Structure 1
Amino acid sequence: MPKLGFLNRILGDSNERELRRLQKIVDEINDLAPETEALSDEQLAAKTAEFKERLAQGETLDDLLPEAFAVTREMAARKVGERPYDVQLMGGIVLHEGRIAEMRTGEGKTLTAVAPVYLNALLGRGVHVVTVNDYLARRDAAWYGPVYHALGMSVGVIQNAGISFMYEPGYEPETEGPATGYKDLRPATRKEVYQADITYGTNNEFGFDYLRDNMVREWEDKAQRDLYFAIVDEVDNILIDEARTPLIISGQAEEASATYIKFARAVKGLREEIDYVIDHKAKHVALTEEGIERVERALGIRNIFEGDPRLARHLEAALDAEYLKRIDRDYVVRDGEVIIVDEFTGRLMPGRRWSHGIHQAVEAKEGVPIQRESITYATITFQNLFRLYEKLAGMTGTAETEAEEFHKIYGLDVVVIPTHRPMIRVDHPDVVYINERAKFNAVVNEIEEMHRIGRPVLVGTTSIEKSEYLSSLLARRGIPHQVLNAKHHEREALIVAQAGQRGAVTIATNMAGRGTDIKLGPGVAELGGLHVIGTERHESRRIDNQLRGRAGRQGDPGSSRFFVSFGDDIMKRFAPDWVPGMMQKLGMTEDMPLESRMVTRAIEQAQQKVEGHNFDIRKRLVEFDDVINEHRKQIYSQRDKILRGVDTRANVLEEMLFREIERITENVNPDDFESLELAHAELREIFLPEDLPTIEEMAELRDELTDELLDRAEDRYEQMEAAIGPENMRKVEHWLLLEAIDTHWREHLTAIEELRQSIGLQAYAQVDPLVAFKREGHDMYQQLVQNIRRQVARTIFKVRVVQQPAPQPAPAPVGDGAAAPAPAQKAAPILAKASGPSPEEIRRLGAAPQAGGKGSSAAKRRKLIR
C-alpha cells in the first residue's frame, strides 16, 4: 500500500491526469476568447456555416472543438447572460467525447451541455438532450433556445401525449399552462421536431417514439432519424434507477369468448384417422377432407379458410386444445381456472398461459371463464434503447459510485469534474436511534431548532408515506412547511427553488425536484446556509449523495445530517436483530442518540453490498434482454428494408413461397399415403384448388413433385401480377410482408416473455437459466421466421381485383362562399386482401377487404413455450 500511495503522489490518479488533459483544451478555448468577443452577433452566427464547410472539407469535430466552444460561450453570455466557467467547459468536453461528467449540484449542468450539443449538431444528424420530465425539457429548450437560434440551429421539444413544440422567437401561445408553458414554443409535428438540429425530451418519449416508428406501415410515417448522439441529464436516474422497467406498447386482445366456445363445440367428437390425423412428432393435428366438411357444417361456414384468417387460427387452437392437451397431464382446473403443469417438473405454474389462443381454447373446452389477454406490440429496455445511439454521454451529480455499471453495460467512463468554488458544506456523522418513533421525534426537534434561528431546511424521505407522517408531526408543532413528491414537476420545481429562503421547511421524497437549483435567500448564508436532513439511509449511496448535494452549491455554506434507526431497512440488513435489545440493556433510551463514525462506515459497507447485489440483478436482466434485443434488431431491420422499397417480388416469391413449398415436400414419401396426405393438406392452404395436384398425381410425380409445384406456383404468381398490374402487386407484397412480420412478432414477444418468467425452473435441473434461455430463444426465433414465411405463402394467392366505386361528390353548401363540387373520379381497380388490412390500409386503398381462393386444412401447429 505505501508503494501505491507513493506512485499516486508522483503520477496522480487517473481522474487527476484526465483533468490536466482537459485543462489544456480549456486553455486553448480561453486563448480564443479575445478574438471571439470582438466578433459581432452576425459574425458569430456565420461561424456555423464556416464550421459545416470545414467539416465537409475533412476536418473533424475534435478539430473544431476549441473554436466551437468559444463561439458558444460568447453567444450564451450575450443571449442569456450566462458565461460558462472553465469547469463547465471541461464537463462539455467530456460530454462531447461520449462519457459521463459528474458535476456537483448547482454547478450548471444544463449550461455545460450547450457547447457539446452545438458542436455535434453541426453534423446535421440530430442531437437528443434527454431530461427526467416534460417540464425540464420545455424549460431547457426555451431557456437556451435563443443561443442555438442565434447560431442558426433549430430546436424542438417532444412532450407526453403526442405534444411537440419548435422553438420560434416571438411566438405567443394562446393559453399559458402545461400544454404550452413558455412563449417562443409553437406547436409542431413529431416529425418536424425530430428533423430539428437539437431535440429536447424525456427518456420515455424518445423510447416510445422509437417503438412507434417500428410499427408504421410507410417509410414517410416515421418520425425519428437514425439515433446519432444523446446527452442524458441525471444519467444515473435514467440509465440505472429507471432501467429496471421496460417500455411497453400494448393493447388488449379482442374479446372472442363466444368464438372460442363455438370452435370448442365444433371440434368435439371428431374421429381419428377419419376426420383428423395427428403427427405426434410435430405435435400437430391436420383435418382430413371429411373432417373439414364436418367442422364447417358445425360452424355454419361454407369455407373456413376463405375470408377472415383468424377463423383458421381459432380452429388450430381448438384442435390443439381438444386433441393434444390433456387434463391432469398438461393442465389442471382449479377454482374455475386452467393452470399449466410443467412437463419437466410436474409443478403447477399459476400465472403462466399458453400463447396463440391455446389457453383460451382450453378454457372453452373445460367450460371455465375465458380470460382476455393483453398483447405486447413492442417493447424495449432503456439499456438497449440508449445503446442504439452511435454516441452517448451523460451528466449527473452522482455517478462515481456506479462507475463500474456504467462502464460494463453502456461502455461509459465517468470523469469527476471539480467544483467552480471550494465545497464548504459540513456533513455530520449519522445519528442512530433505537426505533422510528424516536428517530422522527429527533428529526422534528432538529427542524424546530433550525426554523427558530431562520435556517432553511430540506428534509428527504424515502417514500410519500413517510413524507406525510413527518408533515403531521410538524403540523402538531405548528411549524409551517411544504410537502412535495416527484409527481407534479412544475409545482415541484417552484417549491424546490424557494427551499433556500429564510425559515423555509421543505419535505421532499429523495427524487423530487431534481434539475432545479436551491438558491439561498438574503441573509441565509450568514446563518449557515441550507441544512439538509435525511430521515433514512437509502440502499444506494448515490441517492444519499444526491440529497446531500442540494446544500453547498457554488461554494455556499450548508450542512447535512442523516437520522437512522434500527428499524430502517438498511439497518436491518447489517445489524442483527438482537442489537436494539442489547442497546436498551446497555441503558440506551429512545431519546438517547448514538453518534458514531463507526456506525456510519458500517452503513456505507452495507450499502456497497446492496449496490453490488442490485448491479448483479440489473446486469443479469440485461443479459436476458440482449437475447430478445438481437431478435428485435433483425425484425426491425427487415421492416426497414421493406419500408425503403426492397425487391418484394423476390422476397415473397422465392424467400417465402418457394421455400415453404420446398419445406412441405422435402420429406414426402411417394409410397406412404399418410405422408402424402399430410403434405397435400398443407399445400391446400397455399394453392388454389385448380392448381393443386391430387394425392394420386403427387404420388406419380415422385422426384419431380417439388419442381412441378414450384412451376405451378410461379405461373399463378405471374397470372396474378398480369391481372392486377405490377404496381398493385408490389403493394400487396409490401402489405403482406409487414402484416406477417407484425403479427408474429407480437406473438413472439408474448411467448418469449412467458419463457423468461418460467426459465428459472431450469436451475433445478442444474442448467444455467441464461444458457437455456439463449438456446430456447434461438429456437423460438427460428420458429418466428418460419411462421412469417408460412403466413405469406398461405395468403399470397388469396387476392383478387375489385372495382372501386366512383365517389359521389358532396352537395355544395348553400350561401356565400360555396365551394365548387369536385369533379367525379372514374372507378379504378384496387387491391383487396384476404388477411384483413388495418383501417389505415382500407382508407388508403378505398375499399373493404374481400377474399379470393380456397384452402382446406388446419395450419400446422405453432411451437408453444415449454
Structure 2
Amino acid sequence: MLSNLIHTVNKAKYKKLADIVIEKTKDLNLLSDEDIKDAFLNTDEYLKKFAVLYVISERTLGLTPYHVQIMASLAMYDGYVLNMHTGEGKTLVGAMVAAMHASDGKEVTVATANEYLARRDSLSMKPLFESAGILSGYIEDRGETLQVRYSNLLSSCLMWLEDFIRVDMKNISHSSSVGSSGTVLIIDEIDYSLIELSSTPVAIVERVSSEVDVYNIFEAVKNAKSNATFFVFSESGEPRYSDEFYAYVEDYLVNILKMSTLDALYSNNYSIYISFVKCYTAVYGMKKDRDYVVSDDCVKRFDQRTGRTTRAGFEPALLEFLHQKELLPPPQKTSEIISCSLQHYVKSFEQIVGLSGTAMCNKLELNKTYGLKVFSVPPRIPSKLINRGYSLYKTDEEKVAACISYIQKKINSSQPVLVVCEDDMSAISYFNLVSEFTENVSLLISSNSEDDERSLINSAGENSRVTITTRMCARGTDIVVEHDEGLCLCVTAVGVTDVDDLQLNGRTARAGRRGEVSFFVSMQDSIFKGLKKDSIPYRNFLSLSQESIEFQNKELSSITTKPIRAFQSNRMKMYRENRSRVAVYEKPIEDQLIILKKKRLEIWNISAEQEYLTKMISKNITNELLSNHLHDVLLRYTEYHGDFNEKLKKMLGSQLTALWSVHNSKLKAYQRECTGIGAADVNKFKNNCKQAFEEFALNLNTNLLMSVMATMETELALISSTSGSFLDSRTTSQMADA
C-alpha cells in the first residue's frame, strides 16, 4: 500500500519535471552547436542540462526523447533503478544520465549485457557525448582518460581486479583504484547482472602445470558403468549423484582397480577419488551442445538462461576431462591469483543505478543486497503483446509435434517465427525438423559469430521466416517485422525463473507493435524432474496437460501459467539461497583485498625509492648482521642501475603480486576444505581466513623486503659473474630467523 503511494507520488513528480525540461528546450533550439555545448558545460541547473541533452539528441542522433524517457532519466539521475519496458529507449536514457554524471565531474561506467552491445552502444551514443563536450568510448580504448566508458560488466570487473596487481599506475582502468572518488556505475539488465551473475566469482589466473593423471583416470571411468540410478534430482530439478553412485565409486576404486583399502580411500587417495567423480561427471553427466559447446579447440560453458557461452565457469580438473572426452588438446592449467564476486566489485562504486524490463520482479533483493530502489516507468504505448501462456504436454514427443504444428500454421499465414530453444542441441534438432517443410529457416546458436548474429537478426522479421535459436537471440536488439500481426515467439521450454520468461517477451511487440508468444512445456522438461510421479504437484500439473497436438486449449494454457510461476518462484528461492552461500564464502577473502590495495597505493606513490627501502630494512630487520648486509646489497644495486627508482617500483609491485597469489591460494584451500563433500563450516572458514590474514599482514613488509632483496642479489650475482649468492649459508639462516 505504502509502496504504491510512493510510486504514485514519484510518477507525478517526474512527470511535472519532464514537462519543465521539455518547456526549456524551446529557448535552446535557436542556439548554435557550440553554444549548446557551452550551455551544457557551464550551467549548474540540472533541468536545463537535461533540456540541452534533449536538443543534442535531436541534432546528433535524430532521436527526439519521449516524455517517458525524460521521466526515466530524471528518476535514474536521482538514484533509482528503472523498470522500463523493452523498446522504450533504455539506451538513450542511460546515455543521458551518464552525460549528466560526467558533467558533474564523476567517472561513469555503463555496463551492458555483452561485449557486442557495449561496442554498439558506445559507438551509437558517441555523437551525443561529443556534442556535450564529454569524452566517451569503449573500455578497451586507450590513450585518453574517458569520462564515460562502455563495457560488459564481467570485463569491467576483470580490469578492476587487474588494477590490484599492476606494477605501476600506467593504464589504470578505474580511478577508484588510486583513491579517487566520484564513480558511477550504470547497468543495463541490472537485475540479471547484479543478481543472477553474482554467484560466480570473477578471477585472474596464471598458467601452472597439471597435477591430475587425466589419461589413466579417464580410461578407468570409460570402463566403469553408467546407470540411471546414479543420478537423482532435487526439488528444483537440479541433477545430483545418489548414494548408490558414491557406494559404486568406492567399490570400483577399491575392489576393481585395487587402489587401496576403504580406510585409506579418504586419506592418501582422496584426490584420486575426487578426480574420478569429476571425470565421471564429464563423461556421463554432461552433454555437448547442452551443457557445453566446443569452439576454437576449446570447451566453453553454455548458459541456458542467456544462451551465451563463456570460457570461464568450469573447475580446472573437470575442464581437463571434458577436453579428453572431446579429443581436444589439453587446456591450459591455471591457478588463481586474485578473485572477487561481482557484488564486491559493484559496491566499490559510490553510486549504482541501472535499468531493466524486469527490475520489479527482483526489487526486494536489489534493495536488500544493494540498497537500491526501483521506479517503474509508465509505458509510452500500451503493449499489444498476446501471451498464449504455457501449453503443457505429457511427453517431449507431444511437445515437439505441437511446436512444429504451431510453426507451420504461422508461416502459412506469412508471419515470421522466432523459435527459442533450451540449448544448442535442441535448436539443431528443431532446425532439422523445420527444414523438412521450409527452406526459409535460419539457425542462430553459440557457434555463430557476431556478424552472423547481426545478419540473422536483420532477416528474422521477414515474412514466413523461421529463426531457430537459444535465449541469446536479439537480446537488446530490435527485430524489424514486416507482418502486421508482428513476430511470433515459440518457446520450447520453460525458463528456470519467471524473469527468464518475462525477458523473452521483450523480443516481440516492442514499442507498441503487435506480437505473440507461446510457451510449449513437457512433463519431461528438466524443471519437473525433481517431482515424484506419485506426488500431488506432479498429478496437478499432469491434469493441466493438453489433449490435442493440433489445437492449443488457450484457456488451459492460461490456467497453467499460475502453477508454473509458483514453481519458478521456488527455484528462484533456491538460487537466492545459493547466492547467499557464495557471498558468505567469498566475503572473508574479498575483505582482505583492502590490504593489497593499500600496499599497492603505497608503492605507486613512492617518491624517494632508495630512502623507502632503507627505512624498510631498518624497521623490519632486527638482526644487525643481516641488516648491514642488506644495506650493502642496496648500495651495490643502486650503483649498477641508473634507472633504480623505476626498477624498484616494478620489483616491489611484482613481488607483492607473487606474495598475494600465495596467500590467496591458502584462502581458497580453506574455502574448498570447508565447502567440500560433507562439509560446510562457515565459522571454521572465517577463523582460518582471519588467522591467515593476521599472519600475512604481520609479515607482509618483511616478506616483501626479502623477496625484493633476493631479486637484487640474483641480478648482482649475474652482473659481477660471482659463483654464488651474496648471502652465505650463515646469513641465510639468520635471515630465516629474522
**TM-score between the two structures when normalised by the length of structure 2:** 0.75
Q: How does 1:662-741 map to 2 (within 5 A)?
A: 709=623, 711-712=624-625, 715-716=628-629, 719=632, 734-735=649-650, 737-741=652-656
User: Using a 3 Å threshold, how does the CA distance of structure 1 residues 761 and 48 change in structure 2: closer, same or farther?
Assistant: same
Q: In the alignment, which of 383, 387, 402 is matched to residue 343 of structure 2? A: 383
User: In the alignment, is residue 777 of structure 1 matched against residue 657 of structure 2?
Assistant: no
| 2:475 counterpart residue number | 514
CA distance in 1, matches of 2:521, 2:158: 40
- 1:117-157 per-position Cα deviation (integer Å, ceiling 9, x unaligned): 11111134432222223322222222121121122222222
Q: In the alignment, which of 150, 155, 164 is matched to residue 214 of structure 1? A: 164
CA distance in 1, matches of 2:616, 2:57: 57
Q: How does 1:141-290 map to 2 (within 5 A)?
A: 141-158=122-139, 164=141, 189=142, 191-192=143-144, 195-226=145-176, 228-253=183-208
CA apart distance, 1:71: 0.5
Letter in structure 2 aligned against 1:779: Q
Letter in structure 1 aligned against 2:714: A
User: Using a 3 Å threshold, how does the CA distance of structure 1 residues 588 and 786 change in structure 2: closer, same or farther?
Assistant: same
User: In the alignment, is residue 755 of structure 1 matched against residue 705 of structure 2?
Assistant: no
Letter in structure 2 aligned against 1:18: N
Secondary structure of the corresponding residue to residue 220 of structure 1? coil
- 1:580-611 per-position Cα deviation (integer Å, ceiling 9, x unaligned): 79959999577786625442211100100100
Q: In the alignment, which of 451, 455, 465 is matched to residue 494 of structure 1? A: 455
CA distance in 2, matches of 1:450, 1:644: 67
| 1:117 counterpart residue number | 98
CA contact under 8 A between 1:352 and 1:754: conserved in structure 2?
no
Q: In the alignment, which of 479, 502, 508 is matched to residue 545 of structure 1? A: 502
User: In the alignment, is residue 20 of structure 1 matched against residue 12 of structure 2?
Assistant: yes
CA contact under 8 A between 1:92 and 1:113: conserved in structure 2?
yes
| 1:854 counterpart residue number | 728
| 1:323 counterpart residue number | none
Letter in structure 1 aligned against 2:338: A
CA contact under 8 A between 1:341 and 1:349: conserved in structure 2?
no
CA apart distance, 1:749: 2.0
User: In the alignment, is residue 570 of structure 1 matched against residue 527 of structure 2?
Assistant: yes
User: Using a 3 Å threshold, how does the CA distance of structure 1 residues 836 and 616 change in structure 2: closer, same or farther?
Assistant: farther
CA contact under 8 A between 2:392 and 2:545: conserved in structure 1?
no
- 1:175-200 per-position Cα deviation (integer Å, ceiling 9, x unaligned): xxxxxxxxxxxxxx3x52xx122212
User: In the alignment, is residue 49 of structure 1 matched against residue 41 of structure 2?
Assistant: yes
CA apart distance, 1:621: 0.8
Asked which structure has the greater CA Rg, the reply is 1
CA distance in 1, matches of 2:611, 2:63: 59
- 1:14-61 per-position Cα deviation (integer Å, ceiling 9, x unaligned): 33332222223212212212112232222101123313xx5xxxxxxx
Secondary structure of the corresponding residue to residue 113 of structure 1? helix
CA contact under 8 A between 1:461 and 1:534: conserved in structure 2?
yes
CA apart distance, 1:472: 1.3
CA contact under 8 A between 2:106 and 2:147: conserved in structure 1?
yes
CA distance in 2, matches of 1:776, 1:92: 47
CA apart distance, 1:577: 5.3
- Segment of structure 1 superposing worse, 217-226 or 86-95: 217-226
CA distance in 2, matches of 1:400, 1:213: 34
Q: How does 1:427-466 map to 2 (within 5 A)?
A: 427-466=387-426
| 1:746 counterpart residue number | 661
| 1:531 counterpart residue number | 488
| 2:55 counterpart residue number | 74
CA contact under 8 A between 2:199 and 2:583: conserved in structure 1?
no
- 1:245-272 per-position Cα deviation (integer Å, ceiling 9, x unaligned): 3332222236999xxxxxxxxxxxxxxx
CA distance in 1, matches of 2:350, 2:541: 57
CA distance in 1, matches of 2:692, 2:578: 25
CA distance in 1, matches of 2:65, 2:121: 16
Letter in structure 1 aligned against 2:198: A
| 1:407 counterpart residue number | 367
User: Using a 3 Å threshold, how does the CA distance of structure 1 residues 157 and 231 change in structure 2: closer, same or farther?
Assistant: same
User: In the alignment, is residue 635 of structure 1 matched against residue 601 of structure 2?
Assistant: no
CA distance in 2, matches of 1:587, 1:513: 30
CA contact under 8 A between 1:736 and 1:792: conserved in structure 2?
no
CA distance in 1, matches of 2:545, 2:71: 53
User: Using a 3 Å threshold, how does the CA distance of structure 1 residues 103 and 550 change in structure 2: closer, same or farther?
Assistant: same
CA contact under 8 A between 1:340 and 1:352: conserved in structure 2?
no
User: In the alignment, is residue 600 of structure 1 matched against residue 550 of structure 2?
Assistant: no
CA contact under 8 A between 1:660 and 1:789: conserved in structure 2?
no
Structure 1 gap ranges (5+): 1-6, 55-63, 165-188, 258-331, 354-370, 662-708, 800-831
User: Using a 3 Å threshold, how does the CA distance of structure 1 residues 656 and 514 change in structure 2: closer, same or farther?
Assistant: farther
CA contact under 8 A between 1:656 and 1:792: conserved in structure 2?
no
CA apart distance, 1:417: 1.2
CA distance in 1, matches of 2:531, 2:710: 68
Secondary structure of the corresponding residue to residue 380 of structure 2? coil
CA apart distance, 1:754: 2.1
CA apart distance, 1:713: 5.2
- 1:786-837 per-position Cα deviation (integer Å, ceiling 9, x unaligned): 45344345456658xxxxxxxxxxxxxxxxxxxxxxxxxxxxxxxx443899
CA distance in 2, matches of 1:374, 1:447: 46
Q: In the alignment, which of 112, 118, 122 is matched to residue 131 of structure 1? A: 112
CA distance in 2, matches of 1:435, 1:602: 18
Secondary structure of the corresponding residue to residue 27 of structure 2? helix
CA distance in 2, matches of 1:601, 1:569: 18
Q: What is the alpha-carbon root mean square deviation over aligned residues? A: 4.1
| 2:29 counterpart residue number | 37
CA apart distance, 1:401: 1.5
Secondary structure of the corresponding residue to residue 636 of structure 1? helix
- 1:407-441 per-position Cα deviation (integer Å, ceiling 9, x unaligned): 22332222221211111212123211111111111
CA distance in 1, matches of 2:673, 2:169: 37
| 1:484 counterpart residue number | 444
- Segment of structure 1 superposing worse, 432-441 or 853-862: 853-862
CA apart distance, 1:647: 7.0
CA contact under 8 A between 2:76 and 2:353: conserved in structure 1?
yes
CA distance in 2, matches of 1:342, 1:739: 41
| 2:376 counterpart residue number | 416
Structure 2 gap ranges (5+): 178-182, 213-253, 276-330
CA contact under 8 A between 2:21 and 2:50: conserved in structure 1?
yes
**TM-score between the two structures when normalised by the length of structure 1:** 0.65
CA apart distance, 1:712: 4.9
- Segment of structure 1 superposing worse, 726-735 or 778-787: 726-735
CA apart distance, 1:455: 1.6
User: How many residue pairs get matched?
Assistant: 627
| 1:348 counterpart residue number | 270
| 1:609 counterpart residue number | 570
